[in-house]
Chains A and B, each alone.
Chain A
């Protein structure tokens, strides 16, 4: 294979260059410096969506905090759908990974004595969220990227878009990717592949997610036969700016901001989240979990107690009592974003906010090693579902998740690669097939009276209607029917841009197909879950039903291309299912 000029060869490939992918790459390089490792990413690594994370990263370090409390907060936050063995590993490992980032230069905010500072966060009973002001993800990503530069073993394919996994006999042998600058399609073989492509917020019209969050890794795995898990659980963050969907971090509330309705009333007290206190109380009111806060907004809207704007109803986030000094020290980015995109100053004015799609609890099914069940294929970060997040992720658990499971998947992939043989000759013909598909089916097809943008917009409005904060069976079924039509359309649509150079329309077409596969899995899983748990709330099944549904859903692609939903047990170790209690 290595003689074929169309094919490059590595030992381990990381798909995606965000926190999980870069952490995995460094783990491979450190585990076995003899391995040839490469990061393949559709954007330069420092553009990855980790960059947008604001509030912080949870890890037990403060005096008086305990591992068991972080575990319990995460399990109850997950509405008991997280796997407790994975959560326990995650919580134990998170502080070490955050310290490692400290040693790699991450500018964590500090206490006066020089030790790392921690802040409160939603659903957490203790202060344990490490932060770098309110640009935590940005600083983590740049620290990881810059640190990765000192490992010469880590090669990079910047701005290469992976279109398919090379699979033979139940094993993954690499990928096919398009080099955006030249339009060249190439096979890149590897003994192990780690998917770390982030989330899929672009399935929805209103999201905090970046343009690049199109579920690529999930779709690649799904089409290669690896199951996706818990796809029905989509997190709405309670505080996004209207129109743009830009995130206003939960750290505002951790520092003491209030959520008020149009009457200036702290409405969360009406939704079993506790009683208002002037200063923030942990696991109470504004520091409740995201699913419950977003659901409270919907009820408040139904009661007519929200404000109307051209971009939908909003409530207000009130930071005014925090003062300019605290805001400038701990929340400077929030002030910058409000001034720029809303033309308001949170020091003096109320911030309009509404719930916004933020995070995918589900993803590629993996074990705690990041292994997917398909030989040589691993996944980590938001792309993956281990699961530590279950039905609802707690804020500040996702950044350490990228580190903990990125590192572990990297080590596991390195071990696998060290013992795996070279790729079989059959992958060569797969590369040829894929090249032909891209050339003929996409670039060679005559454009019809349809467009990728139109298909994408219809998918997004369909998903908002069918899989919002509250859902029901008939709406999800209608949505799934519409998605089938959109699948047909995306299979026929042509790309108007015929240039081979940096063809962003071709990328958009491939991304739209990925989004549609992911969207379909979200709805199919949601239709099967006839209960309300965490972020999956059904008006036709309003209660949690542990008898029937204390299990994961795994979706695999059937022979006819439609999703098949199956069950997988949840691992319960020391914490039997109980009531989620906040504010009392």
Chain B
């Protein structure tokens, strides 16, 4: 194996550069190094001006999403040796405005997330003095996978629909809505459906399934979207057959 691998990094400083460009760095190719280790090597030893987000380096905080060789990946969980002999291209996540270098603007997601009401909604809230809501292991299992979303934005970067229509609520937010719908403690499904049945809701999705494919935590947002479409369809059938009071 070669000692080094070339990393081609997308650079862009809006207050300095007229347009985005590329910068190449040769970094040690070590079996235990991730793409993030390579970027930190560059930042600490070669070029301290390179900007990227990272924190936990163990695939749980969701900060370090980037496009590596064209695929949205967590850079802390993507190993350099998978791209040997190189070069390996590192770019900001697609479908988001670039703030600088590898840093993207995810405000859009943070504005959409509260719209799907990702919290427990109850008709009547139980007092803490009355203990926990009972929830069997099977009931937990029903929503558990959808609760694994780390908000890393890889699914938005992979979603061709979001790329074309930025109003689309998007995979992670819909998966989180489904996470609460499926939670036996929750009674807010109707409120969330009202949001997701709108034009920018689940109907935007054309079932490409890229979101599920790139999800590093196997959340299956595409599955969540499919379930919502079914719920929405059932609602429209009900609306057609039943007077409003019975829906």
A497 touches B48 (CB 8 A): yes
Q: Check: A109 CB closer than 8 A to any chain B CB.
A: yes
Closest 4 CB pairs of A and B: A114-B134, A453-B44, A497-B49, A149-B114
- Which residue among A116, A139, A502 has the maximum number of chain B CB atoms within 10 Å of its CB? A502
A107 touches B147 (CB 8 A): yes
A149 touches B60 (CB 8 A): no
A502 contacts which chain B residues (CB < 8 A)? Answer: 51, 99-101, 103
B44 touches A149 (CB 8 A): no
Given contacts A105-B183, A105-B186, A139-B147, contact A181 B99 (CB under 8 A): yes
- Out of B13, B52, B135, name the residue touching A501 (CB < 8 Å): B13
Which of chain A's residues 112-160 have a Cβ closer than 8 Å to chain B? 112-116, 135, 138-139, 142, 146-147, 149-150, 158
Q: Which of B123-131, B206-214, B235-243 forms part of the interface with chain A? A: B123-131
Q: Check: A505 CB closer than 8 A to any chain B CB.
A: yes
A499 touches B128 (CB 8 A): no
Q: Check: A478 CB closer than 8 A to any chain B CB.
A: no
B51 touches A107 (CB 8 A): no
Bound CA–CA A408/B131 (angstroms): 21
B61 contacts which chain A residues (CB < 8 A)? Answer: 43, 46-49, 51-52, 210
Q: Check: B56 CB closer than 8 A to any chain A CB.
A: yes
A499 contacts which chain B residues (CB < 8 A)? Answer: 13, 15-16, 49, 100
Q: Check: A452 CB closer than 8 A to any chain B CB.
A: yes
- Out of A99, A105, A243, A341, name the residue touching B180 (CB < 8 Å): A105
A107 touches B143 (CB 8 A): yes
- Out of B55, B131, B144, B148, name the residue touching A99 (CB < 8 Å): B131
The residue in chain A whose Cβ has the minimal distance to the Cβ of B16 is A499
Q: Check: A102 CB closer than 8 A to any chain B CB.
A: yes
B58 touches A244 (CB 8 A): yes
Contact-size category for A: 35 or more
Q: Check: B140 CB closer than 8 A to any chain A CB.
A: yes
B137 contacts which chain A residues (CB < 8 A)? Answer: 109-112
Least CB distance from A454 to B in Å reads: 8
Bound CA–CA A289/B52 (angstroms): 38
- Out of B110, B133, B149, name the residue touching A103 (CB < 8 Å): B133
Least CB distance from A252 to B in Å reads: 15
A99 touches B132 (CB 8 A): yes
Bound CA–CA A49/B63 (angstroms): 11
A110 contacts which chain B residues (CB < 8 A)? Answer: 135-137, 140
- Out of B57, B119, B131, B134, name the residue touching A105 (CB < 8 Å): B119
Task: Give per-residue flags for B96-112: 1 if the beta carbon is below 8 A from chain A beta carbons, else 0.
Answer: 00011101011000100
Q: Check: B32 CB closer than 8 A to any chain A CB.
A: yes
- Out of B32, B59, B176, name the residue touching A146 (CB < 8 Å): B176
Q: Check: A335 CB closer than 8 A to any chain B CB.
A: no
Q: Check: A67 CB closer than 8 A to any chain B CB.
A: no
B14 touches A115 (CB 8 A): no
Which of chain B's residues 5-22 have a Cβ closer than 8 Å to chain A? 13-16
A52 contacts which chain B residues (CB < 8 A)? Answer: 56, 58, 60-61
Bound CA–CA A299/B111 (angstroms): 53
